Amino acid sequence: MKNLLPMLTGLMLLLSCSSKKNEVTGYAPIYGDPADLTSISLVAAQPVDNGGKIYVLDGILYQVETGKGIHITDIADPAAPVPKGFIKAAGAQEVAVKDGLIYTNSQNDLVVLKIEGEKLSVVKRMPVSLGLRFSPALPPERGPFECPEKSRGTVIGWQKKTLTNPACSY
């Protein structure tokens, strides 16, 4: 009886597998160092991989790199955007800006960030109820997802991607 639930879960996972080639939007695991889950830092501009939500203020565009951080791009000259830097913040999904301060989330914390020159400081961090499941076990939304592989490391988040025949779903 005790083994029934895992068996059922396994069965459901199997049933969700599909043999035909099928491209869907779903979540893929982000692998990384568990210490990166809470640390926030400013680093050099990064190529956009899986751009997310956007926010604009005073000619600066902030775009979430879903689950990883925020790209900062100067678009004062829209014909020639200039990447300015990248804020590493694991679990980031949302961004808004006011009076030079950047509001985002790091996992289930709401954080207020200040950038002076090359230096980033965390003005405030508080746990909030985002209702997003930042669980390494499951992606934040129901649907198909790429099964995590233990050999690739620790899952520290999820990113939305176009997946081919994802084997997992919930």
Partner 1 sequence: MKLKQLAILAIGGLILAAGCSKGDNAPPSGSGAGGSTARMTISGNYLYLVNSSSLQTYDISNPAQMLLLNTQNVGWNIETIFPYRDKLFIGSETGMYVFDNSNPKKPQLQGQAQHLRSCDPVVADENYAYVTLRSNNNGCGGTLNQLNIYDIQGTHILNPKQVSSLQMSEPHGLGLKDNILYVCMGRNGLNVIDITDKTKPFSRKILSDGTEFIDVIPYDHTLIVYVQGGFILYNITDPANPQKISTINN
- Site residues for partner 1 per CB under 8 A: 24-26, 47-58, 61, 63, 73, 75, 78-81, 83, 93-99, 101, 103, 105, 110, 112, 123-124, 126, 128-132, 141-144, 162
Closest CB to partner 1 among residues 35, 123: 123
Q: How far is the CB of 135 from partner 1 (least distance, A)?
A: 15
Residue 54 has which token pair? 């956007």
Please spell the DSSP secondary structure of 101-129, one letter per residue. EEEEEETTEEEEEEEETTEEEEEEEEE--
Q: How far is the CB of 94 from partner 1 (least distance, A)?
A: 4
Q: How far is the CB of 150 from partner 1 (least distance, A)?
A: 26
Closest CB to partner 1 among residues 20, 150: 20
d(CA 12, CA 16): 6
Please state whether beta strands 51-57 and 154-164 pair in parallel, antiparallel, or not at all (unpaired): unpaired
Closest CB to partner 1 among residues 34, 100: 100
Q: How far is the CB of 82 from partner 1 (least distance, A)?
A: 10
d(CA 124, CA 112): 5
Closest CB to partner 1 among residues 35, 75: 75
Map tokens 């200039």 to a residue. 82
Collapsing DSSP to helix, strand or coil, 86 comes out as strand
